[in-house]
C-alpha cells in the first residue's frame, strides 16, 4: 500500500514501548503517515506518555495480557510495533527478568497476531545476536551467532520465533538487527551504545566526557533518521520482497569513541574526553566492528543517508534547543 492511500489510513497501529529511544521517534513518524487517530502510543509509565500530544495514547504493560488483548479487540488494531525490551547493559544486571520480559512479551504478541489475523508485526532485533565467535568485520547475514548477553540471547531466540510464526502460521512479522542508534529527540535506555548519545549532551553542556568504552572500541552505529527510514521501508515493502523472516542485518556507519569525539571537536574545539571502560566493554568486545547489510539493500532497497560527520553536524545543530525536553 502506498502511504496516504485510503486503505492505508484505516490501519490502526499499536506501538508498545513508545517512550523508548526508538519508539519516541517512530511514534511520530507513524503518526505522520497513518494519522493521529490511527496510532496508539503505549507505555507502562503514564508520565512517559505526556509528550505524545500528536497521537492517541494508552498506559499499557505488555505483560498484562488481558489488557493488551482487550485493547487490540476494542481498537481493531491491525499492526503492532513491539519495541518494549530490556537492553544489553541493564539486562546483565537482572538476567532472568530481562529474559522473561523480552521473550514472554514477544511470544504473546505473535500469538495475538495469529489469533486476530493481524496485517503486520514489527519487532526489533540487534547486532547483539552476534557473539565473540562471529566474524567481526563485515559480519554476514548468516554466520555463527553465540551471544553472551541475556539481551543478545533473547534477540537470537526471538528471531527464531519470528521466522517460525511466519512459516507455520503466516504471521507477517518483520525485523531488523539494529546497530547502536543515535538521536537527539530521545534518550537511550540502558544499552552498551548509550555513550554515543551522551557524548553530544556533554559537548553542548561544555562538560568533560568520560567514555565507558575504550578509545578504539569500534561498533556499528546509525543515526535515528536512518533507523526510522529503514523500519518504514521494511514495513512498507511488498510482502514478497521480505525474504528473510528472522531479522535483516542493517548498517550505516561504524566508529570508535575516539572518532566520534574528534567529529564533535571540530565544532567544539575545547571539548575533552577521558576513557574509563566498565562492564560494558566486555559486551562491546563481543559484538562486530561492522555489518554486511547487502541483503537489506538487495531485497527491499535499503540505503543509508548519514555518515559520522553529517550526523554530528545535524545533532549539534538541533540538540541545543531540544535539550530542554529532557
Ligand atoms: C544496546 N542500544 O546497546 C542497544 C543496541 C546494538 C546495541 O541493541 O543494548
Domain annotation covers residue 263: yes
Q: Which ligand 1 atom minimizes the distance to the CA of 89?
A: 9
Same domain assignment for residues 111 and 158: yes
Query: Domain holding 78: CATH number?
Result: 3.40.50.720
The grid coordinates of residue 113 equal 497476531
CATH of the domain at 186: 3.90.25
Residue 1 falls inside a structural domain: no
Among 23, 129, 148, 180, name the best residue to mutate to test ligand 1's pocket (greatest count of ligand atoms within 8 A of Cβ).
180
Ligand 1 atom at minimum distance from 126 CA: 8
Please say which residue of 234, 249, 264 terminates a domain: 249
What's the 76 CA to ligand 1 centre distance in angstroms? 32
Neighbours of 276 (CB within 10 A): 10
- How many angstroms is it from 153 CA to the middle of ligand 1? 13
Is 127 domain-assigned? yes
Q: Which of these, 189, 254, 192, 221, lies nearest to 24 by C-alpha position?
A: 189
Which has the closest alpha carbon to 283: 216, 187, 219? 219
- Pair 113, 79: CB distance under 8 Å: no
Do 266 and 241 share a structural domain?
Answer: no
Cα distance from N-terminal residue to C-terminal residue, the chain: 36
* Full residue range of the structural domain in which residue 268 is found: 181-220+252-325
Are residues 157 and 192 located together in one domain of the fold?
no
CA distances (Å), 100 to each of 94, 125, 150, 209, in order? 10, 16, 10, 35
Q: Are 61 and 175 in the same domain?
A: yes
151 labelled catalytic: yes
Q: How many domains does the chain have?
A: 2
Site to probe by mutation for ligand 1, drawn from 153, 191, 195 as the one with most ligand atoms within 8 Å of Cβ, is 191
Residue at 157 is within a domain: yes
Pocket of ligand 1 (CB under 6 A): 87-88, 126-128, 151, 178-180, 191-193
The values of phi and psi at residue 5, to 5°, are -70, 155
Kindly state the DSSP code that residue 139 receives in the 8-state scheme: B
Q: Are 175 and 187 in the same domain? A: no
Q: Given this model, what pLDDT does residue 187 score?
A: 87
Minimal-distance CA residue to ligand 1 atom 3: 191
Place of cell 494519522: 35
* Residue 42 sits in the same domain as residue 76: yes
Ligand 1 centroid to residue 176 C-alpha, Å: 12
Residue 188 Cα: closest atom of ligand 1: 2
Model pLDDT, residue 324: 84
Do 101 and 232 belong together in one domain? yes
- Per-residue pLDDT at 155: 98
Q: Which atom of ligand 1 approaches the CA of 87 most closely?
A: 9
What are the angstrom distances between the C-alpha of 5 and each of 2, 9, 33? 6, 6, 10
Q: Which of 81, 122, 151, 223 is catalytic?
A: 151
Residues 78 and 185 in one domain: no
**pLDDT tens string 60-69:** 999 999 999 9
Residue whose Cα lies nearest atom 2 of ligand 1: it is 191
Using CA atoms of 264, 265, 268, 269 in order, give the dihedral in degrees to the nearest 10.
180
Residue nearest ligand 1's atom 5 by CA? 180
Tens-digit pLDDT profile for residues 108-157: 999 999 999 999 999 999 999 999 999 999 999 999 999 999 999 999 99
Q: What is the pLDDT along the chain (326 residues), one digit of tens a residue?
A: 455 455 455 789 999 999 999 999 999 999 999 999 999 999 999 999 999 999 999 999 999 999 999 999 999 999 999 999 999 999 999 999 999 999 999 999 999 999 999 999 999 999 999 999 999 999 999 999 999 999 999 999 999 999 999 999 999 999 999 999 999 998 888 999 999 999 999 999 999 999 999 999 999 999 999 999 999 999 999 999 999 999 999 999 999 999 999 999 999 999 999 999 999 999 999 999 999 999 999 999 999 999 999 999 999 999 999 888 88
Ligand 1 atom closest to residue 191's alpha carbon, by position in its atom list: 3
pLDDT recorded at residue 2 = 53
Contacts of 96 (CB under 8 A, 6+ apart): none
Does the residue 115 lie in any domain? Answer: yes
If asked whether residues 139 and 194 sit together in one domain, one would say: no
Is 33 contained in some domain? yes
Q: What is the pLDDT of residue 9?
A: 56
Tell whether 314 is covered by a domain: yes
Same domain assignment for residues 233 and 161: yes
Assign 210 to helix, strand or coil.
strand
Residue to mutate (ligand 1; options 84, 153, 192, 224; most atoms within 8 A of CB): 192
- Ligand 1 centre to CA of 1 (Å) is 31
Tell which phi-psi region holds residue 230, choosing left (phi > 0), alpha (psi between -120 and 50) or beta: alpha
- The pLDDT value given to residue 325: 82
Q: Are residues 266 and 130 in the same domain?
A: no
Same domain, 199 and 125: no
Nearest CA to ligand 1 atom 8: 126
- Domain assignment present for residue 187? The answer is yes
pTM: 0.95
Amino acid at each position: 500500500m502506498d502511504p496516504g492511500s485510503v486503505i492505508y489510513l484505516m490501519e490502526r497501529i499499536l506501538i508498545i514501548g513508545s517512550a523508548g529511544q526508538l519508539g519516541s521517534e517512530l511514534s511520530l513518524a507513524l503518526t505522520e503517515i497513518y494519522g493521529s487517530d490511527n496510532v496508539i502510543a503505549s507505555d507502562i509509565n503514564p508520565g512517559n506518555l505526556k509528550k505524545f500530544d500528536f497521537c492517541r495514547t494508552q498506559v499499557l504493560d505488555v505483560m498484562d495480557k488481558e489488557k493488551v488483548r482487550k485493547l487490540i479487540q476494542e481498537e481493531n488494531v491491525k499492526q503492532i510495533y513491539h519495541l518494549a525490551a530490556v537492553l544489553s547493559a541493564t539486562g546483565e544486571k537482572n538476567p532472568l527478568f530481562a529474559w522473561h520480559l523480552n521473550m514472554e512479551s514477544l511470544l504473546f504478541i505473535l500469538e495475538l497476531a495469529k489469533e486476530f489475523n493481524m496485517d503486520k508485526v514489527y519487532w526489533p532485533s540487534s547486532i547483539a545476536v552476534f557473539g565473540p565467535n562471529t566474524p567481526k568485520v563485515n559480519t554476514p547475514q548468516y554466520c555463527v551467532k553465540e551471544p553472551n548477553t541475556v539481551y543478545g540471547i533473547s534477540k537470537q531466540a526471538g528471531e527464531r520465533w519470528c521466522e517460525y510464526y511466519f512459516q507455520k502460521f503466516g504471521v507477517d512479522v518483520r525485523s531488523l538487527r539494529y546497530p547502536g542508534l543515535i538521536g537527539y529527540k530521545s534518550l537511550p535506555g540502558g544499552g552498551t551504545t548509550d555513550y554515543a548519545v551522551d557524548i553530544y549532551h556533554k559537548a553542548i553542556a561544555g562538560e568533560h566526557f568520560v567514555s565507558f568504552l575504550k578509545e578504539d572500541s569500534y561498533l556499528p552505529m546509525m543515526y535515528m533518521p536512518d533507523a526510522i527510514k529503514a523500519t518504514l521501508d521494511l514495513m512498507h515493502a511488498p510482502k514478497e520482497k521480505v525474504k528473510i523472516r528472522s531479522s535483516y542485518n542493517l548498517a550505516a556507519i561504524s566508529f570508535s569513541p575516539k572518532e566520534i569525539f574528534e567529529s564533535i571537536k571540530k565544532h567544539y574545539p575545547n571539548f575533552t574526553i577521558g576513557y574509563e571502560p566498565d562492564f560494558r566493554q566486555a559486551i562491546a568486545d563481543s559484538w562486530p566492528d561492522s555489518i554486511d547489510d547487502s541483503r537489506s539493500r538487495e531485497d527491499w532497497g535499503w540505503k543509508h543517508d548519514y555518515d559520522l560527520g553529517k550526523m554530528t553536524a545535524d545533532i549539534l545543530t538541533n540538540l541545543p534547543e531540544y535539550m530542554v525536553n529532557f
